[in-house]
Structure formats: C-alpha cells, structure tokens
Structure 1
Amino acid sequence: MSWQTILAIGSGGFIGAVLRAYFNGIISHKMPHDIPFGTLGVNLVGSFIMGILIAYFMYSTIFSLHVKSFLSTGVLGALTTYSTFAIESFLLLNSGHIALALANISLNAFGSILMAGGGFYIIKLSLRA
C-alpha cells in the first residue's frame, strides 16, 4: 500500500470519526431513548452512502484509487461504527434488556444491509439510464 493511500485512508478516517461523534451526539440528544439511535443513524446513513459509492466505483471510472480509499475505507469506515454497536448491544444484553438489545441488533444489521443495497441500486439504475 502506498503512502498516498495510507494518507488518504487516515485523513478520511479522521473526518469520518469526527462526523460520527457529531451526528451521534445530535441524534442522541434529539432522540433520547433506550435504543442507541445515534449509532443506528450513522450506521444506516453510512451504509446507504457506501452502497452509492460502491456502485459508482463499479460502474464509473471517475474516482481514483486514493479517492476511493479516502471515501470508503477512511470516511465511511470511521463513520459507521460496529464496534460501538457491538458494545452498546452487549450493554443492553448485560443489563437485562433483551428485547431492546435484539431490536438494536436487528435494526442495525438488517437496516444497514437494506440501506447499502438501496444506495447501490439507485446509482446502478441511474447510471444505466
């Protein structure tokens, strides 16, 4: 891996981590609830954007390797946060909130897959038109 790619991923990761903290804080503040909607929100939006980007990467040649690395591995890798999702789910389970934990796990897992697919197919269909 070149130093340019490493720099692209690292700088994208910085931006993604700051965005995650910012949006997670806003969502959690506006929607206080037992389910961590801040993490769910960044995972769903990030997954949707990842679907869009991967479709562009596959069906278009406008992005360089460094831009792809910056956006996907860097920004979105840090924005979407399955480590936070995992510990939040564990803490819900550990505190006896089984139904909330299962809801959180289901919403994050299935919602992220659906959002990634939705973003992917929107771009795939629009580029074929």
Structure 2
Amino acid sequence: MKNILLVFLGGGLGSIFRYLISKFLNSTDLNIPWGTFAVNIIGSFLIGLFIGSAIKHNNLGTPLYILLATGFCGGFTTFSTFSFENQALFKSGDFLNFIIYAFGSLFLGIIAAAIGLYCSKLT
C-alpha cells in the first residue's frame, strides 16, 4: 500500500508539472506542440538519471525510486498525448512538422535518457 501511495503522490506532482509546462509552451502559434516535446525530453533525462543513480547505489525498488522514477516520471511524461498530437499533424497533412516532432522526440528522448544515465555515473 505504501508503494501505491508513493506512485500516486509522484504521479500527481509529475502531472501538475506537465500541465504547467504544456500550458505555457503549447500556447504558441507554432504547429509543433513544444510543451509535450519538452516534458518528454526532460522526463527521458530524469528517468535515465533516476534509474542510473538507483542502479549505482543499489536502490532499485526503494521508496525514493518508486516516488521519482515510477511516480513522477510516469505522471510527467505522456506517450498518449504524443501519439494523439502526431496523428493530428499527420491527418492535417502537416507532414514536415509530423516528421520533425515524431522523430525528433524519439531521437532526442533516447539521447536524453542516455545523458541522464551518464550523469548518474558522475555523482
């Protein structure tokens, strides 16, 4: 029950931060949803950092790991919104922004996670 509450708390906080960032960055007139893009890249970096640190210190499954990696990052990032926004760009015929957003998010997300893992080795 404790772990469920930690996921609930972390997920709630992550969702609040995602909402605030998306509200601010998605309010621009540009076609690419920069808020979703930003939270997914930041979240990829953070989960790399949290998992790398947990592995380094043998803390996988601890309350802090569950709160931050599972809860916060799970609530902060959003694959469902990313998927919906991509299909909307594709459906509207905005193929250039679809390609930039879809492949840019995937490529930079993987790079950000790798950088997070690398940074966790430095601590």
Q: TM-score range by the shorter chain?
A: over 0.9
Q: C-alpha offsets along residues 67-88 of structure 1, whole Å, 9 cap, x if unaligned?
A: 1111111111110111100000
How many residues matched? 123
Provide the rounded CA distance (Å) in 2 between the counterparts of 1:11 and 1:85: 23
2:9–2:67 contact (8 Å) kept in structure 1: yes
Matched, 1:104 2:97: no
Alignment RMSD (CA, Å) = 1.5
Deviation at 1:56, TM superposition (A): 0.5
The within-5 A match list for 1:23-62 is 23-29=21-27, 31-61=28-58
Q: Tell me, which stretches of 5 or more residues in structure 2 are unaligned? A: none
Residue in 1 aligned with 2:9?
Answer: 11
Percent identity over the alignment is 29
Provide the rounded CA distance (Å) in 2 between the counterparts of 1:85 and 1:64: 28
Provide the rounded CA distance (Å) in 2 between the counterparts of 1:27 and 1:67: 29
Deviation at 1:108, TM superposition (A): 0.9
Provide the rounded CA distance (Å) in 2 between the counterparts of 1:32 and 1:21: 18
TM-score by length of 2: 0.93
Residue in 2 aligned with 1:91?
Answer: 88
What is the one-letter code of the residue matched to 1:122? C
Q: Tell me, which stretches of 5 or more residues in structure 1 are unaligned? A: none
Displaced runs of 4 or more, over 6 A: none
